[in-house]
Amino acid sequence: MSIEVSKIVQGVEPSATLAMSAKAKELKAQGETVYNLSVGEPDFDTPKHICDAAIEAMRAGHTRYTVASGIPELKAAVCADYKNRFGLDYKPTQVVISNGAKHSLHNAFFATLNPGDEAILPAPCWVSYAELIKLCGAKPTIVQTREEDSFKLTPEAFRAAITPKTRMLLLCNPSNPTGSCYTCDELLELAKIAVENDLFVVADEIYERLVYDGAQFTSFPTVLDGLQERSIVVNGVSKTYAMTGWRIGWLMAPENVAKKISSLQSQETSNPCSLSQYAALAALQGDQACVAEMRAEFEKRRDYVMSRIAAIPGMSAPKTGGAFYVFFNIRNFLGKDYGGVRVETDKDWCLELLQQKKVATVMGSAFSAPGYARASFAASMETLKTAFDRIEEFVAGK
Ligand SMILES: Cc1ncc(COP(=O)(O)O)c(C=O)c1O
């Protein structure tokens, strides 16, 4: 007997970023030195005071189930953080702590989208949104943004994508994969359109602490009175505190939605790891110097990577304002031979770059933006330098 996979799960694509990382690891296992710019996680270790808090939590016996939606202390700390930094009033009953921001996004979509609903996704967009939306039976409406608009959704493009079935807009700010950041005015224009059309907005703010050039991040619900009622904000500790493996993220939503998501989570997964929750609490309540240090290091690397791309004739990228990615245009480098191999697409280009020069990036088509590639600068300066030396050689046919 063979077990048939359900129709809905058959349609799920594997994560292209993880697939590229796996390919890089495969080469590494064969003894090759790989310069890996495909990963979406800080290369720093989790700060010591956060690890210590987890050890203390274990010793203190916090090793049992917690409330399914998260420990009250962590929910309160999340509310205090958004109040202190953005002036937003959330009650702990509006917060659900989950197994990473990806789980929070899944919960948010699953709790709000019905089969047949449409959700607007500005592209280039992070790999998981469309797949998670499809899992709910809903339809992702991919809206292409333009490099000359720094890959930001314009009010015109947003309006044009709305149909009677549209229920949701997904805004990733700062963006993975493009590193673009919306200004307060830009968010306000989008918010007004959402209100006019009675849409809700899922604001993925996972990279909000990693913004550069002294920019002030604007949290989406702050731009218009009443917006909290039609927003679900997603955030977490993975990127800010170099805690990707601990799997703690959260969402903040109107109380009725948060309550239902808590029920959903209590049936699906129960609580996220108790020790990780205590670690996340220490992250939010402890010294924030570690965040400033990591951010400053990322900014240095961002400057370096932008300068290397600018120095390659025919290559371009809008300046990364946040997160740790640069999304660069490789259209001028397609339709050519590289070491006797014909390269037609962005996927071919990234695969040949990996094969021939041992530099791992991710093809733009994985983010619904063919003709581009994403490089992560969550890698040491040494790695970045060698990787870009090799990219330069590769495009020069050397
Ligand atoms: C835009 C975006 N949202 C959410 C996530 C998921 O974060 P977490 O590791 O907390 O699940 C990622 C991770 O790559 C991301 O890039």
Tell me the CA–centroid distance for residue 308 and ligand 1, in Å. Answer: 27
Indicate the pLDDT class of residue 192, thresholds 50, 70 and 90.
very high
The residue-averaged pLDDT of 164-189 equals 98
Q: Is the pLDDT of residue 17 over 80?
A: no
Tell me the CA–centroid distance for residue 94 and ligand 1, in Å. Answer: 21
- What pLDDT is recorded for position 55? 98
- DSSP-derived pairing of the beta strands 249-252 and 325-329: unpaired
Last residue in a domain, options 236, 262, 285: 285
Q: How far apart are the first and last CA of the chain?
A: 53
* Whether residues 57 and 104 fall in one domain: yes
CATH number of 346's domain: 3.90.1150.10
- Residue 72 preceded by cis peptide, ω within 30: no
Chain segment 340-397, per-residue pLDDT in tens: 999 999 999 999 999 999 999 999 999 999 999 999 999 999 999 999 999 999 999 8
Exposed, middle or buried: residue 210 (CB in 10 Å: 0-12, 13-18, 19+)?
buried
CA gap 369, 33 in Å, rounded:
29
Residues touching ligand 1 (Cβ under 6 Å) are 40, 100-102, 126, 172, 176, 204, 206, 236, 238, 244, 249
* Whether residues 306 and 273 fall in one domain: no
Residues β-bridged to residue 201: 169, 231
CA gap 234, 231 in Å, rounded:
10
* Closest C-alpha to 283, from 251, 239, 233: 239
Tell me the CA–centroid distance for residue 158 and ligand 1, in Å. Answer: 24
Chain segment 96-129, per-residue pLDDT in tens: 999 999 999 999 999 999 999 999 999 999 989 9
Chain segment 293-316, per-residue pLDDT in tens: 999 999 999 999 999 999 999 999
* Whether residues 305 and 373 fall in one domain: yes
- What pLDDT is recorded for position 52? 98
Atom number of ligand 1 nearest to Cα 248? 10
Which residue is it, tokens 């929750």? Answer: 277
* Whether residues 299 and 279 fall in one domain: no
Tell me the CA–centroid distance for residue 174 and ligand 1, in Å. Answer: 12
Residue 2 domain-assigned (yes or no)? no
* Whether residues 268 and 361 fall in one domain: no
- What pLDDT is recorded for position 6? 92
C-alpha atoms less than 13 angstroms from C-alpha of 388 in its C-beta half-sphere: 24
Q: Please give the C-alpha separations between residue 344 and each of 115, 332, 333, 374, in angstroms, as whole numbers.
A: 37, 11, 9, 17
- What pLDDT is recorded for position 24? 87
Residue 66 domain-assigned (yes or no)? yes
How many domains does the chain divide into? Answer: 2
What domain range includes position 111?
Answer: 48-285
* Whether residues 104 and 14 fall in one domain: no
Q: Coil, helix or strand for 42?
A: coil
Which residue has its alpha carbon closest to ligand 1 atom 7? 101
- What pLDDT is recorded for position 398? 84
Q: Is the pLDDT of residue 16 over 80?
A: no
* Whether residues 296 and 278 fall in one domain: no
* Whether residues 251 and 181 fall in one domain: yes
Mutate to test the pocket of ligand 1, among 239, 320, 325 (most ligand atoms within 8 A of CB): 239
* Whether residues 156 and 202 fall in one domain: yes
Atom number of ligand 1 nearest to Cα 172? 1
Q: Yes or no: say if 168 and 113 are a contact pair by the CB < 8 Å rule.
A: yes
Q: Yes or no: say if 115 and 137 are a contact pair by the CB < 8 Å rule.
A: yes
Chain segment 86-103, per-residue pLDDT in tens: 999 999 999 999 999 999
Last residue in a domain, options 262, 285, 308: 285
Last residue in a domain, options 243, 258, 285: 285
